[in-house]
């Protein structure tokens, strides 16, 4: 392939950003400009010579604009091979269209603003994708542009090549064009499936827009990138980064885990802080102030918190910022931050501060996707929550009011810790977290051991697990895990139940004087 001169262009855009400047450049290079509707009107008003597509095709725009570019003179001009189809093009008076500039009806934006069914349907573009696909297929001769951000690249390319575009530019833009139509169709099919209540459609389409090419993936030898879907859920994808170096793959993953966990705690009820390390909470607390919540979360496992991610459920204030600044932290994510807090954090130039403007709703529906060899696993987001009226007391002793409050807190934390999970909590703070072990008894012992280490380091008379409650993300298959928790000093237990040996576990709890409640809901997290 060689450079291809641009002699005729068709410009038909919904987003008219940069259109006039592009039109003026093309006209200045002797390019005949075809256009439609509002695009043609704007160009004409700005003194850019333009010809209406309806005039060019001899067929009027009709059906409220639904039919305007679906015509052989348009698609023939885009699809015709300049050598092989020259006779047919001449016979039917089809002129070559060398440049197509189209961006699509704002379907995604229409859905995002909560428009009704009929309005969403009317914002499904038909002619635009058809032209884009025609032009992209024939990129040997045709340059196709679907993003106003590429106008400058086309202008520069034409300037460098005497009014023509290069093969490299046309191929790159064709690939981008097909990606755009694919993502557009994906958005439509996903919306339609939602309208029909079809949770798992026969064909799954996943689309995203590149937000950032990352330095590397989980490890330096892995390449990685961050794509966003346009979902309005507050979090790492929508957050504004105020300072700090570029986020890494692991930073993004851990920050998402931290923010989703802290959202479990309503800021109207109490400030909450979650500290995450390697996707697992290593400290969670609620308190009367954000600074106190941070101090109590840090106390759970200050060793693991070093280099961690900190999530807050409300505004980062100066006192809390000063406390956080005392140790090395990778990322802070919060709905907002005071001027004083921003000034303090600014003194830590590598510390990333992300502000989201709000919290995600932990009860909202959604989907999670995981890749496996040859496919994807798709499931509903774990938006299950347990409340007091859903608990079943199964031991002779019922939990006290304080135990009950801490049990619910601990079980809410459990939901965000990798399985097998054991969480000890006391007075609204985690005091031991055991994550990701192959056996539940190991998780119970590791969490207790960590609490013992903290006690020894701080010179405490006993570990904070003494007098705590314990939560398990799934049932105890044997009594050994529960007994390990009792040895650590737990006085009450919350777990889903459902084991063949539930009675054996209940009997062990009674023998140890523990109170135990069942939730009927588990929170595996792999």
Q: Do domains 236-380 and 387-518 have the same CATH topology?
A: yes
Round to whole Å and give the CA distance between 143 and 6.
Answer: 8
Query: Any idea what the Cα angle at residue 276 is, between residues 387 and 299, rounded to 5°?
Result: 85
Per-residue pLDDT tens over the stretch 374-383: 998 999 899 9
Collect all residues with Cβ–Cβ distance below 8 Å to 378 and sequence separation of at least 6: 200, 204, 367, 368, 369
Quick check: helix, strand or coil at residue 63? coil
Contacts of 518 (CB under 8 A, 6+ apart): 391, 392, 394, 494, 495, 496, 497
- The DSSP bridge partners found for residue 311 are 274, 333
**Closest by Cα among 299, 247, 307 to 276:** 307
Whole-number Å distance between alpha carbons of 389 and 350: 46
Name which of 275, 277, 273 is nearest 263 in CA terms: 273
Q: Which among 315, 313, 317, 320 is positioned nearest to 295, based on CA atoms? A: 320
Non-local (6+) Cβ contacts of 173 within 8 A are 136, 139, 143, 144, 145, 146, 150, 154
pLDDT tens sequence across 126-175: 888 988 999 999 999 999 999 999 999 999 999 999 999 999 999 999 99
In tens, the pLDDT along 36-53 reads: 888 889 999 999 999 988
**3 state SS of 176:** helix
What percentage of the chain carries pLDDT values higher than 70?
A: 98
CB atoms within 10 A of CB 307: 11
Distance separating alpha carbons of residues 432 and 406, to the nearest angstrom: 13
Q: Which residue has the tokens 């039919």?
A: 67
Q: Check the CA dihedral 337-343-345-346 and report its sign.
A: positive
Q: How far apart are the first and last CA of the chain?
A: 50
Confidence of residue 24 (pLDDT cuts 50, 70, 90): very high
Catalytic annotation, pick one of 16, 29, 161, 278: 278
State both tokens at 348.
């830590």
Distance CA 258, CA 269 (A): 19
Cα gap 321→336, rounded to integer Å: 12
pLDDT band at 105, cuts 50/70/90? confident
Yes or no: say if 229 and 207 are a contact pair by the CB < 8 Å rule: yes
Q: How confident is the model at residue 63 (pLDDT cuts 50, 70, 90)?
A: low
Is residue 57 pLDDT above 80, yes or no?
A: no
Radius of gyration of the chain (CA): 30
- Give the start-to-end residue ranges of the domains of the chain: 4-195, 236-380, 387-518
pLDDT tens-digit series, residues 203-262:
888 888 889 999 999 999 999 999 998 888 999 999 999 999 999 999 999 999 999 999
Contact 11, 33 (CB under 8 A): yes
Residue 175 φ/ψ, nearest 5 degrees: -60, -40
4-195 maps to which CATH number? 3.40.50.1380
CA angle 180, 181, 186 (to 5 degrees): 100
Collapse the DSSP code of 434 into the 3-class scheme (helix H, G, I; strand E, B; otherwise coil) and give the result.
strand
pLDDT band at 327 (very low <50, low <70, confident <90, very high): very high
Tell me phi and psi for residue 92, to 5 degrees: -105, 15
* Residue 47, token pair as written in the block: 């003194």
The strand pairing partners of 470, in sequence order, are: 424, 493
Q: What does the pLDDT look like over 459-499, one tens digit per residue? A: 999 999 999 999 999 999 999 999 999 999 999 999 999 99
Cα–Cα distance between 335 and 361 in angstroms, integer? 13
Q: 3-state DSSP call for residue 337?
A: strand
What does the alpha-carbon distance between residue 164 and residue 6 come to, in Å, rounded to a whole number?
5
Q: Is the peptide bond before 420 cis (omega within 30 degrees of 0)?
A: yes
> Would residue 278 show up in a list of annotated catalytic residues for this protein?
yes
The token duo for 58 is 């001899």
Three-state secondary structure of 379-425? EECCCCCCCHHHCEECCCCCCCHHHHHHHHHHHHHHCCCCCCCEEEE
Please state which CATH class domain 236-380 belongs to.
Answer: alpha beta
- Give the architecture (CATH level 2) of 387-518: 3-Layer(aba) Sandwich (3.40)
Ranges of beta strands (E only) in 439-508 are 469-472, 492-495
Q: Does residue 75 have an active-site annotation?
A: no
Backbone angles phi, psi at 73, to 5 degrees: -70, -25
Which pLDDT band holds residue 11 (cuts at 50, 70, 90)?
A: very high
User: Which residue among 29, 137, 161, 348 is the active-site one?
Assistant: 137
Widest CA span in the chain: 97
């Amino acid at each position: 392939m060689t450079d291809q001169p641009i002699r005729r262009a068709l410009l038909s855009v919904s987003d008219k950003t940069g259109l006039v400047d592009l039109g003026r450049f093309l006209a200045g290079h002797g390019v005949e400009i075809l256009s439609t509707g509002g695009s043609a009107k704007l160009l004409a008003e700005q003194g850019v010579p333009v010809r209406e597509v309806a005039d060019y095709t001899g067929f009027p725009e009709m059906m409220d604009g639904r039919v305007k570019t679906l015509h052989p003179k348009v698609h023939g001009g885009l699809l015709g091979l300049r050598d092989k189809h020259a006779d047919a093009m001449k016979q039917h008076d089809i002129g070559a269209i060398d440049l197509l500039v189209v961006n699509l009806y704002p379907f995604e934006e229409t859905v995002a603003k909560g428009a009704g069914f009929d309005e969403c349907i009317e914002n499904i573009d038909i002619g635009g994708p058809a032209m884009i696909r025609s032009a992209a297929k024939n990129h040997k001769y045709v340059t196709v542009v679907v993003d106003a951000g590429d106008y400058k690249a086309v202008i520069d390319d034409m300037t460098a090549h005497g009014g023509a575009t290069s093969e490299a530019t046309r191929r790159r833009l064709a690939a981008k064009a097909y990606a755009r139509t694919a993502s557009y169709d994906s958005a439509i099919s996903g919306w339609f499936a939602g309208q029909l209540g079809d949770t798992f459609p026969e064909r799954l389409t996943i689309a995203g827009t590149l937000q950032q090419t990352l330095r590397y993936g989980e490890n330096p030898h892995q390449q990685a990138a961050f794509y966003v879907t346009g979902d309005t859920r507050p979090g790492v994808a929508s957050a504004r980064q105020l300072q700090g170096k570029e986020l890494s793959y692991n930073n993004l993953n851990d920050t998402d885990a931290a923010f989703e966990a802290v959202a479990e705690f309503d800021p109207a009820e109490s400030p909450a802080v979650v500290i995450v390390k390697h996707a697992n909470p290593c400290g969670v607390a609620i308190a009367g102030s954000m600074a106190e919540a941070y101090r109590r979360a840090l106390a759970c496992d200050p060793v693991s918190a070093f280099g961690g991610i900190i999530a807050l459920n409300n505004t980062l204030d100066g006192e809390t910022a000063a406390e956080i600044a005392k140790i090395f932290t990778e990322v802070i994510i919060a709905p907002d931050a005071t001027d004083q807090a921003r000034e303090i954090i600014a003194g830590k130039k590598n510390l990333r501060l992300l502000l989201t403007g709000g919290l995600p709703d932990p009860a909202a529906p959604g989907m999670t996707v995981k890749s496996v060899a040859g496919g994807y696993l798709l499931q509903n987001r774990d938006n299950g929550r347990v409340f007091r009226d859903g608990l079943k007391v199964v031991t002779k002793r019922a939990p006290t009011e304080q135990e009950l409050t801490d049990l619910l807190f601990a079980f809410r934390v459990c939901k965000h810790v990798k399985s097998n999970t054991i969480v000890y909590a006391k007075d609204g703070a985690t005091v031991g977290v055991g994550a990701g072990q192959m056996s539940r008894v190991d998780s119970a012992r590791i969490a207790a051991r960590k609490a013992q280490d903290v006690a020894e380091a701080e010179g405490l008379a006993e570990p904070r697990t003494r007098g705590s409650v314990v939560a398990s993300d799934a049932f105890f298959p044997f009594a050994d895990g529960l007994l390990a928790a009792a040895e650590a000093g737990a006085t009450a237990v919350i777990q889903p139940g459902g084991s063949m040996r539930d009675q054996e576990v209940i009997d062990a709890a009674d023998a140890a004087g523990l109170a135990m409640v069942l939730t009927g809901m588990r929170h595996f997290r792999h």
